[in-house]
Amino acid sequence: MYLSVDMNFFILVRKGKPMTRNLIIPLIALILFLSVYIPVKDNLSNPLSPDPNTRTDTFDVVHYTISLTVPDIKDEQVYGIVDLQIHPLINDIDTITLDLFGFSVDSIWIENETIHGFSYDGRLIRVPVRDEIQSKSSVVLSVFYHGTPSRDPAWGGFYFKDNVAYNMGVGMRSYPHGVGRYWYPCVDNFVDRATYDYFIRVPENYTAVCPGVLQKTYKHQDSTVTWHWYLEDNIPTYLSSVAISEYEIIRDTLQGIEREIPLSVYIRPDLKMKADSSFSEIGKYLAVLENYFGAYRWQRVGYVGVPFSGGAMEHATNIAISESTITGNLRFETLYLHELAHSWFGNMVTCRTSGDMWLNEGWASYCEALFIKEKYGKGKFIDYVRDNHYKVLMYTHIRDNGMHAVYGIPKELTYGSTVYDKGSDVVHTLRNYLGDDQFFPAVKKYLNEYAFNDASTEDLKNILGDQTKTNLDDFFKSWIYSPGFTHFSIDTFMVSRNENSYDVDVVIEQKLRGADELYNSNRLEITFMDENWNRKTLFFRFSGRKGENHFELPFKPTIVLLDVEEKVSDAITGYTRVITNPGNYDFDLSFFRQSVNQVKDSALIRVEYHWVTPDTIKSKDFNGKFLKNGYWSVNGIFPEGYDATGYFKYFSKQSRQPVYVDSTLLVDDPERLVILFREQPGQAWRQIPSEKSNKKSQNEIVVKHVSSGDYIMGQIK
């Protein structure tokens, strides 16, 4: 076992003033033999543990000085001294409790005095405080320890792999999810934030990369080097990091909206050429995020490549990126953007509890869509949002074992699809509920108000509500605090002529998919069009099962469409096309395609798949079974002579797809499938001529001469 530590190079920062600590060198030779406990590394996740945030009620760690020696990466051992500057929040603290998992603790000091009565059970260090510590005083507690760092059984922790030592700051199966404790003693939760000094001692051909700005390197006579990094902005422990390897650096300067910001990418030499291309647009990512959410507040933008199996981790100013994503192109640009977006959502403002994780991941996920809009245009943005929404409706409840609210997610699903994908859906809907003119300024206010602090979902609601003068209680109750989805559809619309205008009365019906209560204070865009494509979009507001609004229009509408720009993430996936020529057209993610046989003039076709049971399931002539998993609406402006064949997709239980498909969509006997049709809601359904596709791989029911109306599948007896 190797522990060669030149103690004169370890600096303790106390109240902003560095001072050198002179320690007794003979003590270092003894500490390996004075270990209090060598724990068994099992049961990493302990969801029954007390709330890890409660310790912050009694004391606050304001600064960490992490002095870590890694003499040989192949040996997978670390030797550490961590100085914690602790600020008591109450009088008469008798015990300071710290998190540290799976190490041997050699000794503990408080203000350079050895503490003999501490205990360590492999998870928690409990340090008795002998003398009374008054509130507003400050003490430095030092922990000497060594051992092999731990990793989460699923994802996260500390790794030695392919000549790299590095950490990924969260553990998917660990609780609390932050796993700073897997490599240094700390208060491991989302709310205790501190600044950091890192002194990482490694062999001389290695580079140690940490958050913040590199201060200095110290060369030692034993062919080792200490890398000193300082992070001036406070972070919770899960955003603290280190990566050690034979790195090269790519440097650049990014032009921010307020200042120039240094960029540094640490990469292994064999990937440097690819990295030059893969990281070439970081400046564009920064520009988009600053434009929407305000100036970048950190010391630098930093990435480091690590040999992780996949994914990335948003360590502050030192984002860990899987080397598998450094491909020499922009294939993973949204991943790089997502992690940088955490500099606002997650790093600067951190979720208060694991149940608030959508504030980190849902918002960073939606930032991907905003970037797509700025780089590729509105059409690609809508496609990106639609794809995500389809994924939520189709897969999220399968992956997460049920429909959940984005807030208060079970701990085992903290990093699941509900938080990321449905969370992004909710942000998209909230944005359009408030409107861009109010939404983005209010979000900037939220970020400024809670900068370098933690925030809850309720904090977000209050800030947005106050800034926009909008009561968001109903919105948050339904979209954020409740599971499932709402669904909106046109029930009826009636048109009457005035002298110079038209009166239009519209009734909208609300249905539910996996939700417990109807949504209230709804605000939807409703679009009216006539046969000449004159168009007017207005707002429809209502609560409850049905709502009726009156509108006055300068033209007579022939169609009425809800949310045609897909600004509300309800239980519908839809697609709109303008068709000018015969051919085959997919209506993406609506389980429908169309083969246009004849079109003499432009046609506007919108197809929607409704992920709910229709309002009426009745027919005079059909004696079979209606499939209640959903139905289609085909609307639009059909010019004279328009003729098309529709292909309605189904999923068979006999295929290989069911494991990836919502079980309610599965058909047990495709040979008995038929299509039923109605011109408008409320009418009885009638069976229309249909046939199975002659292509076995298609799983489609074919209807010739598709017209405007609703379609549903049934099974004949």
3 state SS for 210-261: CCCEEEEEEECCCCEEEEEEEEEEEECHHHCCCEEECCEEEEEEEECCCCEE
Tell me the percentage of the chain whose pLDDT exceeds 70. Answer: 89
**Pairing state between β 78-88 and 139-147:** antiparallel
Residues near 276 by beta carbon (within 8 Å), at least 6 away in sequence: 250
pLDDT digit string, tens, across residues 461-518: 999 999 999 999 999 999 999 999 999 999 999 999 998 999 999 999 999 999 999 9
Instruction: Name the average pLDDT for the chain.
Output: 90
Return the CATH architecture of domain 576-717. Answer: Sandwich (2.60)
pLDDT at 682: 86
pLDDT at 132: 57
Cis peptide before 176 (omega within 30 of 0): yes
pLDDT at 16: 34
Separation between Cα atoms, residue 212 and residue 643, nearest integer Å = 64
pLDDT at 54: 60
pLDDT at 9: 33
Residue with the bigger pLDDT between 51 and 593: it is 593
Confidence of residue 140 (pLDDT cuts 50, 70, 90): very high
- Measured between its terminal Cα atoms, the distance across the chain in Å is 76
pLDDT at 689: 95
Amino acid (one-letter) located at 345: F
Confidence of residue 36 (pLDDT cuts 50, 70, 90): very low
DSSP conformation class of 636: E
For domain 7-246, the CATH superfamily is tricorn interacting facor f3 domain (2.60.40.1730)
Please, are residues 681 and 615 in contact by the beta-carbon 8 Å criterion?
Answer: yes
Separation between Cα atoms, residue 637 and residue 600, nearest integer Å = 13
Give the pLDDT mean for 129-148: 83
Q: Which of 2-11, 187-196, 290-299, 428-437 has the lowest average pLDDT?
A: 2-11
The domain limits of the chain are 7-246, 250-343, 351-483, 491-570, 576-717
pLDDT at 7: 33
CA 297 from centre of chain: 21
pLDDT at 623: 86
Confidence of residue 397 (pLDDT cuts 50, 70, 90): very high
pLDDT digit string, tens, across residues 308-365: 988 899 999 999 999 999 999 999 999 999 999 999 999 999 999 999 999 999 999 9
Confidence of residue 697 (pLDDT cuts 50, 70, 90): low
pTM: 0.92
pLDDT at 366: 98
At the top level of CATH, which class does the domain 250-343 belong to? Answer: alpha beta
Tell me the percentage of the chain whose pLDDT exceeds 90. Answer: 81
**Beta-carbon neighbour count of residue 11 at 10 Å?**
18
CATH topology of domain 351-483: Neutral Protease; domain 2 (1.10.390)
Give the pLDDT mean for 182-202: 98
Cα pseudo-dihedral 345, 346, 350, 351, rounded to 10 = 90
Residue with the bigger pLDDT between 665 and 420: it is 420
Give the pLDDT mean for 371-378: 98
pLDDT at 442: 98
The Cα-based distances of 669 to 623, 630, 651, 652, 692 in angstroms read: 16, 17, 10, 8, 12
Confidence of residue 50 (pLDDT cuts 50, 70, 90): low
Give the pLDDT mean for 553-562: 96
Return the half-sphere exposure (C-beta side, CA atoms, 13 A cut-off) of residue 512.
15
pLDDT at 619: 86
pLDDT at 387: 97
pLDDT digit string, tens, across residues 223-273: 999 999 999 999 999 999 999 999 999 999 999 999 999 999 999 999 999
Give the pLDDT mean for 552-561: 96
Confidence of residue 94 (pLDDT cuts 50, 70, 90): confident
pLDDT at 97: 95
Nearest to 590 by CA among 313, 394, 437: 394
The Cα-based distances of 463 to 363, 444, 450, 455, 483 in angstroms read: 16, 10, 10, 11, 23
Q: Which of 37-51, 144-158, 171-185, 606-620 has the lowest average pLDDT?
A: 37-51
Please, are residues 4 and 71 in contact by the beta-carbon 8 Å criterion?
Answer: yes
pLDDT at 542: 97
Kindly tell me if the per-residue pLDDT of 177 is higher than 60. Answer: yes
Kindly tell me if the per-residue pLDDT of 42 is higher than 60. Answer: no
pLDDT digit string, tens, across residues 653-672: 766 555 566 666 777 778 88
